[in-house]
A and B are shown apart, each in its own frame.
Chain A
Amino acid sequence: MSVNTNEAGLFSSGVVDQVPSENGDQVIISLKHVDKHFGDFQALKDINLEVVQGEVVAILGPSGSGKSTLIRCINYLEPYDGGDIYVDRIRVQPGAELIEVRKDVGMVFQSFNLFPNMTVLDNITLGPIRVRGMSRGDAQARARELLEKVGITEQMHKYPSALSGGQQQRVGIARALANEPKVLLFDEPTSALDPEMVGEVLDVIKTLTDTGVTMLLVTHEMGFARHVADRVVFMEAGQLIEEGTPEIIFNNPTEPRTRAFLEAVLAH
């Protein structure tokens, strides 16, 4: 009896029942009526989005449309002020469970944000050691695997400042993967890179699409988005105005604003 009560208690706060989508896949990210203000300015307006396990979603839209704000709300780097966000059935909100959410959500930043006071190896092992409670040895073994995956094992004892931009971003990806997240968020991962380094980073991201990790990718690399995404969502002025498969969005968008945006970016 008492055991049952305990179990009920354990799963009560902030955890909702598993929500299968129409085709039975498990929904891993769910945004419901999400609003976000910066002072008087509303950066997100009634965002509704569900992402299923393993899905790759590209987020497109003009500058200032709220793409970064949207994905930053998912791991609560940005607090939202209306609606609900769930990651793997845990509501994203301040409190003890936020750490659980962040363990499951890796993030790759436009400007890499590697820790300059640590070697590449320590950048990657920090999360597993501090958050996952892994032993140093296990964490380093895992870090080596990840560095192999992103192709920079030789650099692991160097400090980030000694690496090229492309290498730094590959470390950024390895760091985001270190906690074995279920979800990866990318905020323009190649926008700060010299053109000749964009390819190596996109190649690494491409390999991740086969691993079953769920990805949300904000990017201006239209060709890449079209190639890797299962679904494309288009944002404008804080709203999600259109979504669909890459074929539909790129070839035959219904919204004139989507069409205008794509024509403008694809023109050059």
Chain B
Amino acid sequence: MDLVQTFFNWDVFVRTLPMLMQGLGKTLMLGFLSILLGLIGGLALALLRLYAPLVIRLITIAYIDIFRSLPVLVWLVIVYYALPFVGITLSPFAAACTALTMISSAYAAEIYRAGIEAVPRGQFEAAQSIGLSHYRVMCDVVMPQAIRLIIPPLTSNCINVMKDTALASVVAMPDLLKQATQAQALAANPTPLIGAALLYLMVLLPLVRLVGLLERRFARGRV
């Protein structure tokens, strides 16, 4: 009764729901944009990592390693609070999106690379032997096989990006978590926080289930 009144207060929930939904909208937008850019950037990085001339390859390796080591929060704070000192001022959304994309593309790059490297040499050779260009070898033969292998880890990576969007609240972006903490302050009641947690779960639990399903499916069938 008391506990329910405190954590699951219906009145508070109804009153603060519009705020939460606004936050959810921002969170999803940030998440999807960062995921999309991260997937594209990751592919580009993976291809550079594998096929670019030595110098570019080394730079790419350094990039990938650095951004896989750096905590997301640290990089986000640097992008938002430190870059203005060199004249680059980003909105909270832009800063969060930049930071998340830069880091998720580094992770995605390693996943793509593993997928491409798992495609047997003979596939590249057969594709080259019929006269396909490098681009066609990758598009028609290698990537379709690599993607099937890496859909589960790539989906996992997307989940991580979506979760990391909550860090954007640190740079005052009105995302779901930020909105929830503000609503909590206004209502002097923690129900909005519980509401936010439930909304995160609603978005992410199905994705987590999906990864499990995909993993089992790909483990069963051959490529």
| Residues of chain A whose beta carbon lies under 8 Å from any beta carbon of chain B | 75, 77, 99, 102-103, 105-107, 109, 111, 113-117, 126-127, 130-131, 161, 175-176, 178-179
- Flag if A109 contacts B122 (CB, 8 Å): yes
New A-B contacts (10) at CB < 8 Å, excluding given A99-B131, A103-B131, A126-B140: A102-B128, A106-B129, A111-B122, A113-B122, A113-B123, A115-B126, A115-B141, A116-B145, A117-B141, A126-B141
For the complex of A and B, list the 5 residue pairs with the smallest distance between their C-beta atoms, beginning with the closest: A127-B130, A113-B126, A102-B131, A113-B122, A131-B131
Distance of A133 Cα from B127 Cα, bound (Å): 16
Given A109-B125, A161-B222 in contact, is the A117-B131 Cβ separation under 8 Å?
no
Q: Which chain A residues border B122 with CB–CB below 8 Å?
A: 109, 111, 113
Q: Which chain A residues border B129 with CB–CB below 8 Å?
A: 75, 77, 102, 105-107, 176
User: What is the chain A residue whose CB lies nearest that of B121?
Assistant: A113
- A-B contacts, 14 listed (Cβ < 8 Å): A77-B128, A77-B129, A102-B128, A102-B130, A106-B130, A109-B126, A113-B125, A115-B126, A116-B145, A117-B223, A126-B130, A127-B131, A161-B222, A175-B130
Binary contact readout B179-223 vs A (1 if CB under 8 angstroms, 0 otherwise) = 000000000000000000000000000000000000000000011
Distance of A226 Cα from B103 Cα, bound (Å): 61
Within 8 A of A (CB), among B94-148: 120, 122-123, 125-133, 136, 140-141, 144-145, 148
Distance of A142 Cα from B3 Cα, bound (Å): 75
| Residues of chain B whose beta carbon lies under 8 Å from any beta carbon of chain A | 120, 122-123, 125-133, 136, 140-141, 144-145, 148, 222-223
User: What is the chain B residue whose CB lies nearest that of A117?
Assistant: B144
Distance of A103 Cα from B125 Cα, bound (Å): 14
Q: Which chain B residues border A130 with CB–CB below 8 Å?
A: 131-132, 136, 140
Distance of A187 Cα from B122 Cα, bound (Å): 12
Q: Which chain B residues border A107 with CB–CB below 8 Å?
A: 125-126, 129
User: What is the chain A residue whose CB lies nearest that of B125?
Assistant: A77
Q: Which chain B residues border A116 with CB–CB below 8 Å?
A: 145, 222-223
Q: Which of B122, B129, B144 has the most chain A CB atoms closer than 10 A to its own CB?
A: B129
Number of inter-chain CB pairs below 8 Å: 64
- Flag if A178 contacts B123 (CB, 8 Å): no
Q: Which of A111, A115, A131 has the most chain B CB atoms closer than 10 A to its own CB?
A: A115
Chain A nearest Cβ from B146, distance in angstroms = 10
Chain A nearest Cβ from B129, distance in angstroms = 4
Chain B nearest Cβ from A157, distance in angstroms = 18
Distance of A175 Cα from B129 Cα, bound (Å): 10
Distance of A106 Cα from B148 Cα, bound (Å): 28
Distance of A127 Cα from B130 Cα, bound (Å): 6
Distance of A75 Cα from B148 Cα, bound (Å): 30
Q: Which chain B residues border A126 with CB–CB below 8 Å?
A: 130, 132, 140-141
Q: Which chain A residues border B144 with CB–CB below 8 Å?
A: 117
Q: Which chain A residues border B120 with CB–CB below 8 Å?
A: 113
Q: Which chain B residues border A115 with CB–CB below 8 Å?
A: 123, 126-127, 140-141, 145
Chain B nearest Cβ from A101, distance in angstroms = 8
User: What is the chain B residue whose CB lies nearest that of A107?
Assistant: B129
Q: Which chain A residues border B125 with CB–CB below 8 Å?
A: 77, 107, 109, 113
Distance of A176 Cα from B128 Cα, bound (Å): 12
Chain B nearest Cβ from A61, distance in angstroms = 21
Q: Which chain A residues border B140 with CB–CB below 8 Å?
A: 115, 126, 130
User: What is the chain B residue whose CB lies nearest that of A116?
Assistant: B223
- Flag if B130 contacts A178 (CB, 8 Å): yes
Chain B nearest Cβ from A27, distance in angstroms = 22
Q: Which chain B residues border A176 with CB–CB below 8 Å?
A: 129-130
User: What is the chain A residue whose CB lies nearest that of B127?
Assistant: A115
User: What is the chain B residue whose CB lies nearest that of A127?
Assistant: B130
User: What is the chain B residue whose CB lies nearest that of A131?
Assistant: B131
Q: Which of B126, B127, B132, B145 has the most chain A CB atoms closer than 10 A to its own CB?
A: B126
Q: Which chain B residues border A179 with CB–CB below 8 Å?
A: 130-131
Q: Which chain B residues border A111 with CB–CB below 8 Å?
A: 122
User: What is the chain B residue whose CB lies nearest that of A161?
Assistant: B222
